[in-house]
Structure 1
Amino acid sequence: MKTNGAVIVQVREQIAERLRLDIISGALAPNQKITEEALAQRFGVSRGRIRDVLLELSKEGLIVNRANRGSTVNNVPSTDLQALMIKLRLAIETFAIRQAIRARPTQLLDDLTAAFKDLSERLEAGDFAEVTHADIAFHRVIVMAAGGEDLVNLWQPIVLRMRMNYKRISTPKQAIAEHKKILDAIRKADASAAVAALEANIR
């Protein structure tokens, strides 16, 4: 029974992750209506399982559920809201960098190096949806190392909402260099340099 439960959770998370990518890449457009029936057919699962996924995504700010009106993709944040989200994200990740460097958890550098390698490969391949996923994963390593799931749960809705249809002009070479500066500064335990590199990257 536990095995079945684990499989159900895994399938739900796979569907949720696919929909996150669709939303933040713009494949599912802002304000687009989505239905349990259509998603159940797409993924070959029950409407109940889709309902659970949509509830999860609504908590992350990607989906809006309205009584008697169904579910729609949330709108792109306004300029003012985007600016606020950048400040909030910077505050959380600055805190995370300082905490992580102070604590120096064993897996931090290995996990961050692996995430950087994956991000670099995605950038060079030019797949926007996968780049977005890999970029979030890189920063998530730092946040997780600093505060575990509690801090990630505070940070993730802000990041996902920020990234909706987000296309900051940045060449793959520039993006790789920005993340390498963050990684190198953390490797050297230089919090000031790491925060400066972070501020150059998140804008």
Structure 2
Amino acid sequence: MDNDGPATGMLRPQSLVELATDRLRSEILSGALVPGERLVEEQLTQRFQISRAPLREALRLLMEQGLVEHLPRRGARVKTYSDRDFDELFAVRHALERFALTQTGGRGLEGLDLTGVESSLETLRDAASRSDRLAASDAHRAFHLALVALAGNRQLLVTYEPVIVKLQLYMAANLRLEADTSSPIEGVRRHERLLDALLEGDPVRIGDELDRHGARRYFH
């Protein structure tokens, strides 16, 4: 599947705001729209064949998700984050994942529903085999959300999700570089090792795998 360019074609009028949000979100997280790229309303309304009102609401929702930003007198663009921002986001992600997994330790494996973790890992394997970058990115996010959900703490999950979505921008910006320097299967194996550590139930090994998994030199 090729995600190198924005999709074309008008949107069907079921929920124009939802559809415009989903289309733009997919294009941003696939790397088709890159950080800093301007989102020109006139061009987008023509491409999606919608009016300005639903487009502006879609852009507002994407701003809330941390994927779009508005610059005074310059309009909307794909959100840009500094290296320091990403360093801080990685640190927050790591801390929240460690905390989530400490909350699962007392229940044992018999008390955990690993269906979401295992299902997203299988989706990641499939996406990697097809070199589908957006599907792999989405499966990566689903894996980590399912991992944190094991803690059974709804507020923790609400806090964690915006962090992992923002970090997908980092992934999208580095997809081509990663494709040139590593095999997609390497990302799958990192997730497999993390799941194996969880199944083993050894907190030391889980911590070690989280440390290796979260290294900024790859985010996959």
TM-score class, shorter: 0.7 to 0.9
What 5-or-longer segments of structure 2 have no aligned partner? Answer: 1-13, 216-220
Matched, 1:173 2:181: no
TM-score for both structures, normalised by structure 2: 0.74
| 185, 189, 193: which one aligns with 2:201 | 189
Q: CA deviation at 1:163?
A: 2.8
1:132 counterpart (134, 137, 150) = 137
Taking the TM superposition and a 5 Å limit, the aligned residue runs for 1:15-30 are: 15-30=20-35
Residues 21-46 of structure 1 deviation map (CA, whole Å, 9 limit, x = unaligned): 32233211222111344434444544
Distance 1:80 1:138 in 2: 25
- Partner of residue 200, structure 1: 212
Asked if 1:85 is matched to 2:89, the reply is: yes
Letter in 1 for 2:124: L
* Alpha carbons 2:20, 2:54 under 8 Å: kept: no
Describe the SS at the equivalent of 2:33: coil
Secondary structure of the corresponding residue to residue 72 of structure 1 = strand
Do structure 1's residue 100 and structure 2's residue 81 form an aligned pair?
no
CA contact (8 A) 1:60 1:157 kept: yes
**Contact (CA 8 Å) 1:178, 1:201: kept in 2 or not?**
yes
Distance in 2, matches of 1:51 and 1:159, equals: 24
Note the aligned Cα RMSD (angstroms): 2.7
Counterpart contact for 2:38–2:77, Cα < 8 Å: yes
Give the TM-score, by structure 1 length.
Answer: 0.80
Specify every segment of 5 or more residues in structure 1 that has no aligned partner in the other structure, as ranges. Answer: 1-6
**1:80 & 1:31 partners in 2: Cα distance?**
17
More helix as a share of residues: 1
Residue 105 (structure 1) shift = 8.7
Percent identical across equivalent pairs? 27
Partner SS, residue 150 of structure 2: helix
Q: Which has the higher contact order (CA 8 A, sep 6+)?
A: 1
Assess, with a 3 A threshold, how the Cα gap between structure 1 residues 194 and 53 changes in structure 2: closer, same or farther.
farther
C-alpha distance in 2, partners of 1:47/1:100? 46
